[in-house]
Structure 1
């Protein structure tokens, strides 16, 4: 099985941005016909290592491990990891009963998170129906149409240097794209001490990298990376200032 995946294997990939480096996926069963490209690395436990695939999946996605991975990355045109860097990483492998307990608790939390995501999808569908009724089906013939440059000021994002990123809340929140967007407002995930471009409170944030077009509203002043553009109504930039949202 030259290119197949076996249980407990992890893929760690290169990326255009440092904060997306080291994302992983663990195979929970055999995939004999699966393969992977040059942007990924396959990690396979040695025969004398007892590690549950479920535990490995959570461990390689943990903030501590991810922070270690990104701190070791080299950046030229892309953020990347080589075999030498990976060989320096340490992995915490408790006894199997403890691995099972950890995986069980985190799996339960994952199930609850999945339920909340599905509830959000239902709410989003309801909101989309209302928006369509208000702005498409119920549009007044007297409404005027305008082009975005005529009605809005917009700022294209610019990513700060990778070494300024942190997850400890130091500096200003930074949003890079769809991965940071939630139902209405973006989630605070990454911060930067060297912001380059800004969005102001109540600006509309739009993802300009795939998946393109996802939207959120900034609930505070923030840094926007190159995956995001910020739009602000140019006739009154404080028109949302008294909004209860």
Structure 2
């Protein structure tokens, strides 16, 4: 580890009251969930990074549960089943509250960048640190707060954190761009296939006379 890096623990880099587990089920009952309003962040929002919401609450309930409010740069982490997946709340994300299945971490930005903390938990080391502290034979659940706050991490100076985040961010942008390109090419390939072999557009919408329909077994050996 470089000399200007420090070895610390998760609990020491969080803001005051920066460790928030989702509310108990009795605090947010199913009959209080609505089809519109202020969204409830669920486990899939941490696992997949999506922002499509199933459940909402009204303003009155939100004020009652304001302790569980999400804010920009908060980290949300899945707490059971598919454990340890992390997403960061972006500036454009709607305000909401976390569900019982999430852990919210709020970084002390004087000592650690939220994005650096996100990359740590996205790494093999950070992910294993959470999973190894979890328990449950049927449904795996995140460990108690005291154990999670003792997760060790190497802490570079802020200026080095910024450099690391910027470098990884460029790579993330390239990956996202390549994913979009691949998706576009896949859609083009599907459209061309449909045009030629389903709709027969190049042949006036009719299958050519010298073509015939066959079965998969005629051209391949199927091994189950």
Q: TM-score range by the shorter chain?
A: 0.5 to 0.7
From 29, 35, 38, the counterpart of 2:100: 38
Distance 1:30 1:136 in 2: 42
Compare relative contact order (CA 8 Å, sep 6+) and give the higher one, 1 or 2.
2
TM-score (norm 2): 0.55
- Residues 111 and 46 (structure 1), Cα distance of their counterparts in 2 relative to 1, 3 Å cut: closer
Pairs within 5 Å for 1:54-93 = 54-84=115-145, 85-93=147-155
- Gapped regions of structure 1 (runs ≥ 5): 146-150, 153-232, 239-245
Task: Give the SS at the match of 2:154.
Answer: coil
- Gapped regions of structure 2 (runs ≥ 5): 1-65, 201-205
Number of corresponding residues: 149
TM-score (norm 1): 0.51
Task: Give the SS at the match of 1:133.
Answer: helix
Higher helix share: 2
State the 1:130 CA deviation.
Answer: 2.4
Larger radius of gyration: 2
Distance 1:142 1:38 in 2: 57
Residue of structure 1 in register with 2:222 after alignment:
237
Q: Deviations over 1:88-146 (max 9, x none)?
A: 3223322110110101111111111122112101211111112312442138595368x
State the 1:46 CA deviation.
Answer: 4.7
Q: Does 1:23 align with 2:85?
A: yes
From 67, 71, 75, the counterpart of 1:6: 71
Residue of structure 2 in register with 1:143 after alignment:
213
RMSD of aligned residue pairs (Cα, Å): 3.2
Distance 1:37 1:127 in 2: 40
